[in-house]
Chains A and B, each alone.
Chain A
């Protein structure tokens, strides 16, 4: 299938392989770099599922552990193959998916064969699984030293009572100690089947040649019947405040609003992006006042995240008085709820977001990272600029009426620990 997007000047080729694998190719003529992302609809939140009606509960961090281990092959690690082709390979695990990728300026089709083949060829042994625990253990420790990461996860744990989005993506030292090769194969066989996967390629490539590489390398295999289950999640939050000591110079804060997930992921992203920008952008009176009162630093940002069964809008900043910042933000939301937005602000913000998406279109990797998770949830990222353009002010005010409730708001703070304060 070929679909064109006149607004952004792009053309997308797509087809479904006999195995059920969905393939998307975005040609970027004149570009030297190509990018491929081969992903499975399996992420850190999928800790509970049934395989052929049998219930499976896996330790936290399995999806991420599996991502690390897939690079291992009988004859060594697959990085060597990529680097001899001049391609740069990597992978990542998010809440909802695991993606394997490379970027290359030569040997694109050869590199694509390597990508498709290695993701389909697990090689887990007791030794190589044990060995990985040291590496992942240090990855976990690295994040334990990252103040914004901790502020973020503390807020998730305070928002979500049951939903596994509250769990660390890499797990903990304790949870990964329980992972063994049997468990990895069990997850692999359940989720690394073509019908649960997407391949995305962007670059100066020929869609027909990509099809040939796919035909030659994708193996159609038995797909067990897998059902992912998510626990019931109440609409309410767990607690309104959480604070943790850290080696930071000044308190950092994340103010999160637990939102009701929407069905259409593209629309949800668009409407929350516009709403976030209208409420918390740096052109707002809120930012101006907080900044001019010396309440916050110049870093002040917002972001919307959503996946299956979860959605939240967050504001991040630094302040010596996090509670006062929360008070001001909540009051600002109340005022806007009463007074509404101006049409000129609304139109300007839409223009701004439209421009920011055009800017992404020069970057094959960014397009891929936005496109694939959206496609797993049934959305088409390339329609995003049009969806933004077509939003009406009432779309945004409607979300504000029900959303961003002060009752579902969590303040997460990491504040300077004793030692740091004594030093100063």
Chain B
């Protein structure tokens, strides 16, 4: 399945994956900017402000009402990070025109374009809307603690990448939020609109002419822009840092951050990917089979790769008193791979698991969208089959070599309060 790429104007690119086997269609517009402490909070607030009202739909309820009338079209505006860039995205998911019996694709695009381009206000956001959305965003920033597993991961990354752009929270901070004004945030919005890299992604049941027409219309409002790509810098750890937070939780959350001394823009990335799958990528992995199944230390023990930054993050939820035991067990699994102790079953399971999930993407507009946007952020292949071929060409001895290039950087532990001490 090849994505069709069309340069609409300088800095604005359209990616299309038309397929009539789908009953749905996803449209997405992505604005990519560098991730910076001084702009992260404002950019994260923009999706909320733009959802809260525009020239046509004056408040959130009206926008929802329109989405309902468009056969329950899903609309989502959000902000996240991809490597050391921040991506502000506007995504819709609607049913195919043939089920709606009306030109839903065009109508939904018009809604998307209105939300992006026509906020209320000319030089500043309306004060009452601004203040309300700001408070909603404040709750989101504070709400990071609510999901303990994600919070532990966030804290590990924050500590590990202190001083690097990657360590900045994508939601920003309350301190930065307090500095924002309706006018300064509007200026940031204008900057995003006219200088960010813009990627438009359309996938599902539609015709390419429809998408090109819509992308042209948006580009004529936004105009061309010069996009400067900054390069990511990573450094290898001198020694391992140990960080502990104490909070009133029932279960300890252990997160280990590693840096990979691997060029993730080259084919070495595929070795890292397979290495990670063997280490902690699923039910065939060493972490699952040893830390969970053999040692009964936890319910989950897994690891993930961040391609853009070349990181591996392993995590597990454990009893507080098992901290040292679990840390050693996870360490041991990495050492085992570095020693070359990888069974055929483990290796084949890892490769097959990766291939199966990549193939599965082809059945879902939203997974395809996620996949291509991640590839774009990391400068990877824009073709699933080519990706699969590269994974299949990785040899067991290569991941052993990769294991020796993985360096433990930070050990983070979300521990309980007094009495639960480890």
Give the interface of A toward B (CB within 8 A). Answer: 8-9, 29-33, 77, 79-80, 82-89, 103-106, 131-139, 141-142, 144-147, 247-250, 252, 277, 281-285, 287-288, 291-292, 294, 297-298, 318, 348-349, 351-356, 358-359, 361-364, 417, 419-420
Contact = CB atoms under 8 A, between A and B. Distances in A.
23 contacts: A9-B23, A29-B21, A77-B283, A82-B283, A88-B353, A105-B360, A141-B317, A142-B149, A144-B250, A144-B251, A247-B248, A249-B142, A249-B146, A282-B61, A282-B64, A287-B61, A288-B61, A292-B59, A348-B68, A352-B67, A352-B68, A354-B72, A355-B99
B290 to A, nearest CB: 12
Nearest to A79: B283
A363 B364 contact: yes
A135 B23 contact: no
B23 A358 contact: yes
Of B284, B288, B299, most A-chain CB atoms within 10 Å: B299
Interface stretch (B28-36, B207-215, B333-341, B344-352): B344-352
B146 A139 contact: no
Interface string B52-87: 000000011110110111111110000000000000
Contacts of B352: 83-86
Contacts of B73: 355
Interface string B350-374: 0011011101101111000000000
A359 B251 contact: no
Contacts of A103: 356, 360
Given A29-B21, A88-B356, A352-B68, A364 B318 contact: no
Contacts of A352: 67-69, 71-72
A80 B298 contact: no
B257 interface: no
B139 interface: yes
Given A135-B298, A298-B136, A359 B247 contact: no
Contacts of B139: 249-250, 297, 318
A281 B68 contact: yes
A32 B72 contact: no
A284 B24 contact: no
Contacts of A284: 61
A353 B142 CA distance: 33
Interface string B18-30: 0101111000000
A147 B146 contact: yes
B61 A283 contact: yes
B94 interface: yes
Give 4 closest A-B pairs by Cβ, nearest first. A355-B71, A134-B296, A83-B349, A352-B72
Nearest to A353: B72
A97 to B, nearest CB: 21
B23 A359 contact: yes
B296 A132 contact: yes
B205 to A, nearest CB: 9
A349 B64 CA distance: 11
Of A9, A33, A104, most B-chain CB atoms within 10 Å: A33
A373 B270 CA distance: 40
Contacts of A136: 299
B362 A32 contact: yes
A298 B99 CA distance: 30
Contacts of B345: 80, 83-84
A364 B23 CA distance: 12
Contacts of B132: 291-292, 294
Contacts of A132: 296
B383 to A, nearest CB: 15
A135 B251 CA distance: 13
Contacts of A294: 132, 135
A381 to B, nearest CB: 16
Nearest to B355: A86
Nearest to B351: A86
Contacts of A349: 68
Of A29, A80, A89, most B-chain CB atoms within 10 Å: A80
Given A83-B352, A136-B299, A356-B72, A141 B284 contact: no
Contacts of A144: 250-251
A130 B365 CA distance: 43
A8 B60 CA distance: 30
Contacts of A141: 250-251, 317, 319
Nearest to B98: A9
Contacts of B319: 137-138, 141
Given A247-B247, A292-B59, A359-B95, A142 B143 contact: no
Given A33-B359, A294-B132, A89 B283 contact: yes
B399 interface: no
B356 A131 contact: no
B284 A80 contact: yes
B250 to A, nearest CB: 4
A145 B356 contact: no
B317 A88 contact: no
Given A9-B23, A288-B61, A134 B72 contact: no
Contact of B48 (A84, A89, A133, A298): A298
Given A80-B345, A83-B353, A88-B356, A131 B296 contact: yes
A287 B65 CA distance: 12
Given A83-B284, A297-B139, A362 B24 contact: yes
B309 interface: no
Of A136, A252, A352, most B-chain CB atoms within 10 Å: A352
Nearest to A358: B95
Nearest to B99: A358
Contacts of B22: 362
Contacts of A353: 72
A291 B60 CA distance: 9
Given A247-B148, A294-B132, A364 B363 contact: yes
B298 A283 contact: no
A9 B20 CA distance: 13
B297 interface: yes
B250 A362 contact: no
Given A288-B61, A358-B99, A420-B145, 13 more contacts: A32-B359, A79-B288, A83-B284, A87-B356, A135-B292, A142-B149, A250-B143, A281-B68, A291-B60, A354-B71, A359-B23, A359-B93, A419-B247
Contacts of B136: 297-298
Interface string B262-274: 0000000000000
Given A33-B360, A249-B139, A283 B68 contact: yes
Contacts of B146: 147, 247-249, 252
Interface in B285-331: 288-289, 292-293, 296-300, 317-319
Contacts of A281: 64, 68
Given A283-B64, A294-B132, A84 B72 contact: no
Contacts of A104: 356
B217 interface: no
A145 B247 CA distance: 11
A142 B299 contact: yes
Nearest to B61: A288
Given A292-B59, A298-B136, A134 B145 contact: no
Contacts of A291: 60, 132
Contacts of B68: 277, 281, 283, 348-349, 351-352
A134 B64 contact: no
A359 B24 contact: yes
A286 to B, nearest CB: 9
Nearest to B19: A30
